[in-house]
Amino acid sequence: MGEQQHVNFPQEVIDEYAALGVDLQALFSAGHLGNRMGVQISDASADRVVGTMPVEGNTQPYGLLHGGASAVLAETLGSIGSMLHGGSSKIAVGVDLNCTHHRGVRSGLVTGVATPVHRGRSTATYEIVITDENDKRVCTARLTCLLRDVKPGDEELIRAAN
């Protein structure tokens, strides 16, 4: 799935998942798609998730960052925040993603920061702000995830993602 990256997690999250035998670094990563797109997660907690993505390799025919690439970064960051909010007894499933693209980017890295708008028992909504290397806003996104209970058999899927 690509090279392993190091993500900074709060200690209580590390302890919770270690007790279950789950590899946090793999579970809360960018996944196969994010890895192909070069998404790197640096910090992850229910309060704030930060990640970067290169523009190169993620452009549309005009040479600008593809809007779908921004959506992948946004959904990845918001999903990680939602999963961390839900804890090990919940699975976060995206149900609504809205992206507004403010400006084009042709090179460098973009950085996304996801912060919670709402964290409830059954849903979590995150705002994701994506900026360029000059700290100019490229995209504003909002992701809502359904938080559903882990069901029998889900543990195998979670471990398979590792």
Give the residue numbers marked as catalytic.
Answer: 75
CB-CB neighbours of 89 under 10 Å: 9
Q: Closest by alpha carbon to 150, among 59, 52, 83, 57? A: 83
Q: Please count the CA atoms within 13 angstroms of the CA of 64 that sit on its side-chain side.
A: 12
